[in-house]
Structures are given as C-alpha cells and as structure tokens.
C-alpha cells in the first residue's frame, strides 16, 4: 500500500481528445505515455518519481485495458533491462527510476541497450534527485547520457512541455534508434498545470505479435564484432539523426528580448527558477516576457551546434545556467564556438557556483554578476549589489536559537527498538562496526543512536561489512532493510557473505514494505495484492542461499529479546554469516491501514481500544536516558511538578501511537518504572464501566488514605 492513493486522480487518464487535463506533472506523464501508445512500462520507486510508480499501480486496470503491461521491477537494472523488448520490435516502452543512484544500478542494462540501439521508442524517465532536500549523493545523470550516447531531455517545468517531451521523446528515440532519458527534477515532478488531452492509443503492433513472430537480428546484440560497429553507428548515424530531429521539431525554445547583445542559455529544468529570479530583478514579467533573449534547452544532450551559432550571432556575451558539476554543457559550448571562431564570451560557472542547487537567490546573484559585467544598464539603479541583506541575519538568528532536528524514525517505528537494543548490546560487547544500507534504518546513523559507519548503496550493507570478517573476538555488523534485501541484498550481501564464509552478523530490518520510498509492497509483504505475488518469507530466501544461523524476531518492540539475540549472534562459536530477521510492520503504513478501519468500527458502535503511553511525573527521575535510548518524537520534556526538584520530567505527547517501545526500553535498560500504559476505549461495554468503577474505588481508597497520612505527618 503506497503512501498516497491516486485512485481518484487516475480517472483523468481516460480523458479523450480535446478535453482538458488538470493536475500534477507525474500524472500528466502517465497520460502522455498512454497517448503515445506504449506497450509496457516498468520501474523502481524512489524520490522524486515514487509517485509515478504509485500512479501506475493505481492505474493498472486501465493500463491492462489498453494492453499495456506494467511491471514493478526488482530494481533499476531490471527496469532498464525491460527496454530490451524495444530492441527488435516496434513496441514503445518506458521505464522509470530515481537518478543518479537508480541510473548507477541500471547502467549495465543501459549501456547494453545503447550499444545495440532500439527499433521501438524507449523512454527512461529519471527523477533527478539533486539539490536541497535530496536524499542522495549529488551527481548528475548527464554523465550517463554522454557516456552511453543516450539523449537527455530536460523539459521546462510546465505540464504542457513535459507532456510534449514524452511524445517527442518516443519519436526522437525511433528516428535515431536510441534510448531517450527524460529528466524530471524534484520540482518538475510536482508542478501542477493543464493541457488539452489526446485519445489514448493502443499499439498497432502488440506484445502478442512479438511472441508469435520472434525477430532475431544478431547485429543488435551487444557482442563483438557488432559492438565495434555500434560505436560507429552512434557517431555516424544516430547522433546526426537526433540533432536533425531536435532542430526540425523545435524541441529547444527561443524567447526574444530587447537586450539583443547578450543572452541566457539554460537547461529546460532551470527555466522557472531563472524566470522568477529575473522577475524579482525587473528583467522579466510574471508571464515570462524577458528583457534578455533566452535559449531554453529542453534537450541538453545532444546539443545543436547550429542553434548556438544562431543564438550567439551579434551577442557579446551569453550566460549558461547549468546546475551541478562538471559543467558539461558549458565546456561543450566553448568547444563548439572555438571551433567556429565565434568570439561571444561564455559566462557560466564564472558567475554561478560550481556546486549546489541553483535556488532563486543563487540565480539572482549570478544574474546580477552577469549583468554588471555586460549590461549594467539593465539593473535598477538603486538596486544594491547584495539584494538580500535580511537572509544572512535570519540564518544567524535561526542558527543560534533553533534546535537542529535531524531526520529520524517516525513515532512508533518498529526500527527504533532494534537500534535501542544495539545500543544496549554495545554497553556489553564494546563499540561495533556497522555497515549500513539504504532505507529508513539509515536514520540510526544520526542522533540519538549514532550507529553506523558507512552506506554504500541499496542492498550492499552486507558486502560493505564483509572484508572485516570476524577477528579477535569481534564481528562486523551489517544492516539491510527488506526493501534493500529484495532490491539487491539477497545476492550482493547475503549470498556474498555465504560464499566468502564471512564471519559476521547481518540484520535484516523487515517492516513489510519498501517504506523509505513510500510504502510500496515487496515480495515479502504481508498484503494480498491482486496484481503481484507477495508473502514470500525472507527467512526461506536466506536459508535458500545457504545461511544456516538464522533467527527470526517477529516483534521488534521486544527490546530485551532483540538485545539477547544480537548478543548471541555476536558471540556464538558458530562461524559464517549469522542473519537476524527483525520483523514488525512499518508504523506509518500500519496507521494508514488501521486508522480507517478503527474509525469505521467506532462509527458502527463497536468497542475499540487504543493504547497510549505516559510518564508518571512523580516517579520520573528527570535524567532522560529514556529519550536518549529511544529517540521517539513523542517523548519530550515538561516542567517538574515537584517544587523541590528542578530537572524537567519526561512527557509523552499526544502523537504517541502506543507502540510501547519507551516502556520496553526503560525496562530492558533497567531505567525506571515511570512509564504507564493507558487504554482509551471507544464505545465501552457495561463490563468496562463496571471495571472502571471498581478501579476508581480501590485506587481512590488508597489515595485518600495516603493524602490523610501526608496531611497528618
Ligand atoms: O527513494 C530514495 O530516495 C532512495 O534513495 C531509494 C533508492 C531507490 N533506488 C535506489 C538505488 C540506490 C540507492 C538508493 C535507492
């Protein structure tokens, strides 16, 4: 079950020719795929294209009606490999994943695909996770396009343009026999807008046609001697065909402006940011009318030399807005102009930073430098060089007064007790070397757990630990989530440690979903999903590849058991990989699943019990080790009610979901008995009322007696 349902929104995918589609770009992309007559779509979720996978899942019925097969790929390599279908047949297909990490994983298939080339249009929709808020290392997909010779579209964040680029992307792919990457940045994925729909198209050639009449063309294999020929095809045929198509179809856009002796060239994805910065500076209006001529590259690879020559004619300088590094486009423009002896000055990284996201303020500062150097008259005369003085002041105020809040586990997260247990075990066995992975569990590396040395990629935790195979009574620990396990971990971590006889501990954190990417189902998910095969136990898979020491904990909140099992794995005489599977359902998904059911039950008048935890302020010692060991966001501090004590007490706030971890941790760490559990009962029965009256009477009796004693003392 995914984070967000698109069941309502996907109805728009049925719109016919002439009707207006209104909505988010991610949905518009799906509509554009259907209008383009795709036969299959595959993908692996990840920010910022997780929602595309969710949309496709929710639209599966409609896709099937159109004969489109949608696959939830095991990983990005599998997603990219599915484009093999477009190599021999006139079948259009698309795959999607996040970049650049997904592109890294997919690169084997992408390189093979690029060598042989395609007959049917092949579109790779990459969610470029670059800039503030990104969850991964800061690199660019552009390098992949260049190294494998795939074309890269980077559309203006505008729903109409994005839809056009999907359609044109397939045509470009077919005329140049090359896979095309459609890059959607974080902000582009979530931009809202409208476009006039076309009818959905069913592919004329069907998947059944392919099965019934298999085509074999050995020259399309990525094998010698054909690979040598492929390289020549790329340079001599496919590239020129792509350049011609981009030019003839006006994929890139020119916007005129009065300051004709200068210009700005930008990646399509930068357009909205640049125009907003220009608008603030008085260089453009809100409708996009610019005073400086603009050249917008909706295709950033390959570049069209002739268009640059045309744009630079009569210009003394142009500014290149290219986010990230290396500055591939700027270097290419310099080479291009140098070869033609064109003297237009190229400003780019000379006025904009080499690293980091091009936010509005960064762009403004760059534009200002460019204008000061080449057309200072365009700037408002009273504009001070540093336009925003309040920002540094605000940053300083925030920096000194606001407590940093690192990302962490959700309230009730079943992974928190696992790492509390690991902290407790470290008290006994000393500090551990922990090779982490990708997923929610990676939050253990931050406060308050501070557990984990490295993360090397999805499903790679076990491989990252393996060289430190046990010595001197110590063993390395590796963590892999259930998402990572099925993505790649079964082979690359578990199989790897078995084969190498690694003496280590692998902890498989099983919360039932690919939780960090938005709660998608995976092979071992408990849910019954009509279109997928689920409920395949991790334990069976682990034993299947040869692990003999396997313990399965089915309730991670049992901190003492978690701690004892970890200790046993770290100290047993058994050599080789020791796997602990720690299973409890992701609390976020559980709440999403359970809350509507409970609400309905309360409405029907049924008895429903919810649990909450609390701290007895009279018992709380105020040392807050419970907070440090648990880190639950619903644990906070409150003034001490005892006038003779100054330390604030721990307090459980209302966001508590009653997982009980705080109490378990306090118990396992022998902290203090101040945690209590309360049951909130909706629609109580007579028996509930009766029990409550008895309790009130008994507790009231003792309380009154205590108070009398205290008064008389
Ligand atoms: O969803 C995200 O933000 C992720 O980073 C998860 C992810 C999806 N595919 C990957 C491939 C390599 C590393 C992380 C991921």
Q: Which of 589, 624, 657 is the last residue of a domain?
A: 589
Alpha-carbon radius of gyration of the chain: 30
Residue 162 falls within a domain, yes or no?
A: yes
Say which residues have a Cβ less than 8 Å from residue 104's Cβ, sequence separation at least 6: 457
402 occurs within a structural domain: no
User: Which residue lies with its CA nearest to atom 13 of ligand 1?
Assistant: 458
Where is the domain boundary, 187, 218, 248? 248
Say how far apart CA 472 and CA 578 lie, in whole Å.
17
- Which of 3, 76, 98 is the best mutation target for the ligand 1 pocket, counting ligand atoms within 8 Å of the beta carbon and taking the most? 98
CA–CA distances in Å: residue 291 to residues 262, 356, 369, 390, 635: 10, 27, 16, 28, 55
What span, in angstroms and rounded, lies between the C-alpha atoms of 157 and 168? 16
Q: Are residues 351 and 273 in the same domain?
A: yes
Residue 406 lies in a domain: no
pLDDT > 70 in the chain, percent = 99
Average confidence (pLDDT) over 367-387: 83
- Could you tell me if 476 and 547 lie in one domain? yes
CA-CA distances (angstroms) from residue 224 to 172, 188, 442? 27, 40, 42
CATH number at residue 455: 3.40.50.970
581 & 461 share domain: yes
**Atom nearest to 102 CA in ligand 1:** 11
Task: Tell me how far apart the alpha carbons of residues 297 and 464 are, in angstroms, rounded to a whole number.
Answer: 40
Contact criterion met (CB below 8 Å) for 436 and 442: yes
- Distance (Å, whole) CA 95 – CA 73: 9
For the chain, the helix, strand and coil percentages under 3-state DSSP, each to the nearest 5: 45, 20, 40
Predicted confidence (pLDDT) per residue in 278-310, tens digit = 999 999 999 999 999 999 999 999 999 999 999
Same domain for 631 and 512, yes or no, is no
- For tokens 């260049």, the residue is 146
User: Is the per-residue pLDDT at 169 higher than 60?
Assistant: yes
CATH number for the domain spanning 616: value is: 3.30.70
In total, how many domains does the chain have? 4
- The verdict on 238 and 258 lying in the same domain is no
In a domain, 106, yes or no: yes
585 & 623 share domain? no
pTM of the model as a whole: 0.94
Best residue among 126, 136, 185 to mutate for probing ligand 1's pocket (most ligand atoms within 8 Å of CB) is: 136
* 316 and 329 assigned to the same domain: yes
Instruction: Give per-residue pLDDT as tens, 650-706.
Output: 999 989 998 888 888 888 887 778 888 889 999 999 999 999 999 999 999 998 998
pLDDT tens-place string over residues 119-133: 999 999 999 999 988
Ligand 1, CB cutoff 6 Å, lining residues: 44, 46-47, 98, 101-102, 105, 135-136, 438, 457-458, 516-517
Rounded to an integer, what distance in angstroms lies between the CA atom of residue 508 and that of residue 135?
Answer: 21
43 belongs to a structural domain: yes
Global ipTM: 0.95
Asked if 29 and 95 count as a contact pair (C-beta separation under 8 A), the reply is no
The closest-lying atom of ligand 1 relative to the alpha carbon of residue 438 is 14
The string of pLDDT tens digits covering residues 109-121 is 999 999 999 999 9
Distance (Å) from CA 579 to ligand 1 centroid? 23
Residues 657 and 552 in one domain: no
**What pLDDT does 461 receive?**
98
Q: Which token pair is 212?
A: 């019934």
475 in any annotated domain:
yes
The first and second tokens of residue 377, run together, are 């008259």
Are 698 and 652 contained in the same domain?
A: yes
Residues 177 and 53 placed together within one structural domain of the fold = yes
The protein residue whose alpha carbon is closest to atom 8 in ligand 1 is 46
- pLDDT number for residue 387: 57
Q: Do 220 and 344 fall into the same domain?
A: no
Print the domain residue range for 455.
421-589
Instruction: Determine, yes or no, domain membership for 385.
Output: no
Residue 385 clears pLDDT 60, i.e. is over it: no
Give CA separation, 443 vs 27, 383, 408, in Å: 31, 44, 5
Specify if 396 maps to a domain: no
Question: Among the three residues 378, 396, 413, which one is the final residue of a domain in this structure?
Answer: 378
Q: How far apart (Å, rounded) are the C-alpha atoms in residues 85 and 92?
A: 9
Question: How far apart are alpha carbons 537 and 512 in whole angstroms?
Answer: 11
Q: Is 116 helix (H, G, I), strand (E, B) or coil?
A: helix
Same domain? 197 vs 259? no
Asked if pLDDT for residue 98 goes beyond 60, the answer is: yes
């Amino acid at each position: 079950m995914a984070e967000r349902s698109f069941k309502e929104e996907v109805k728009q995918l049925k719109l016919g020719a002439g009707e207006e589609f209104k909505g988010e770009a991610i949905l518009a992309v799906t509509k554009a795929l259907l209008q383009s007559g795709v036969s299959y779509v595959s993908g692996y979720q990840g920010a910022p294209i997780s929602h595309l996978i969710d949309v496709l899942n929710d639209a599966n019925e409609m896709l099937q009606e159109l004969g489109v097969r949608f696959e939830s790929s095991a990983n990005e390599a599998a997603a990219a490999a599915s484009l093999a279908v477009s190599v021999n047949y006139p079948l259009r297909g698309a795959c999607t994943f996040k970049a650049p990490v997904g592109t890294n994983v997919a690169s084997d298939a992408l390189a093979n695909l690029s060598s042989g080339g395609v007959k049917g249009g092949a579109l790779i929709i990459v969610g470029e996770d670059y800039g503030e808020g990104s969850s991964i290392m800061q690199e660019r997909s552009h390098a992949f396009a260049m190294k494998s010779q795939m074309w890269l579209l980077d559309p203006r964040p505008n729903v109409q343009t994005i839809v056009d680029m999907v359609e044109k992307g397939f045509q470009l792919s077919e005329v140049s026999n090359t896979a095309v990457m459609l890059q959607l940045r974080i902000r582009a994925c979530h931009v809202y807008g409208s476009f006039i729909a076309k009818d959905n198209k069913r592919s004329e050639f069907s998947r059944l046609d392919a099965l019934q009449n298999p085509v074999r063309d050995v020259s399309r294999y990525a094998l010698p001697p054909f690979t040598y020929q492929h390289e020549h095809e790329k340079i001599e045929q496919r590239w020129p065909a792509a350049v011609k198509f981009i030019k003839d179809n006006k994929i890139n856009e020119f916007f005129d402006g009065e300051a004709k002796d200068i210009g700005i060239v930008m990646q399509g994805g930068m357009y909205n940011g640049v125009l907003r910065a220009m608008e603030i500076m008085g260089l453009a209006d809100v409708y996009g009318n610019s005073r400086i001529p603009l050249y917008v590259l909706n295709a950033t690879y390959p570049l069209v030399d002739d268009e640059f020559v045309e744009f630079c004619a009569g210009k003394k300088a142009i500014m290149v807005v290219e986010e990230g590094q290396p500055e591939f486009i700027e270097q290419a423009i310099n080479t291009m102009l140098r070869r033609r002896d064109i003297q237009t000055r190229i400003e780019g990284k000379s006025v904009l930073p080499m690293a980091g996201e091009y936010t509005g303020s960064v762009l403004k500062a760059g534009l200002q430098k460019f204008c000061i150097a080449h057309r200072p008259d365009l700037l408002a005369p009273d504009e001070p060089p540093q336009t925003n003085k309040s920002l540094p002041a605000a940053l300083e105020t925030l920096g000194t007064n606001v407590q940093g809040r690192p990302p962490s586990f959700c309230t009730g997260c079943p992974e928190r007790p696992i790492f509390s247990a690991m902290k407790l075990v470290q008290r006994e066995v000393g500090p551990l070397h922990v090779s982490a992975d990708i997923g929610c569990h990676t939050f253990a590396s931050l406060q308050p757990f501070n557990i984990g040395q490295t993360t090397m990629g999805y499903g790679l935790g076990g491989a990252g630990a393996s060289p430190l195979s046990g010595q001197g009574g110590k063993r390395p620990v590796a963590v892999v989530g259930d998402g990572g396990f099925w993505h790649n971990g079964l082979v690359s971590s578990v199989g790897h440690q078995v084969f190498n006889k690694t003496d280590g501990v692998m902890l498989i954190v099983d919360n039932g979903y690919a939780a960090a990417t938005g709660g998608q189902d995976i092979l071992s998910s408990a849910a019954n999903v009509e279109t997928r095969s689920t409920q395949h136990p991790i334990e069976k898979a682990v034993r299947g590849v040869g692990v003999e020491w396997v313990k399965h904990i089915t309730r991670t909140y049992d901190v003492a058991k978690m701690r004892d099992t970890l200790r046993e794995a770290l100290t047993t005489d058994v050599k080789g990989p020791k796997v602990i599977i720690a299973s409890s359902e992701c609390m976020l998904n559980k709440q999403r699943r359970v809350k509507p059911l409970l609400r309905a039950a309360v409405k029907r008048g049924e008895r429903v019990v919810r649990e909450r935890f609390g701290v007895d302020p009279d018992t709380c010692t105020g040392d807050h080790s419970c907070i440090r060991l648990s880190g639950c966001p619903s644990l906070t501090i409150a003034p001490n009610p005892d006038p003779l004590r100054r330390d604030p007490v721990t307090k459980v706030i209302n966001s508590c979901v009653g997982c009980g971890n705080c109490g378990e941790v306090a118990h396992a760490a022998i902290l203090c008995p101040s945690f209590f559990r309360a049951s909130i009962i909706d629609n109580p029965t007579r028996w509930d009322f009766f029990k409550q009256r008895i309790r009130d009477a008994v507790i009231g009796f003792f309380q009154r007696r205590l108070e009398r004693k205290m008064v008389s003392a």
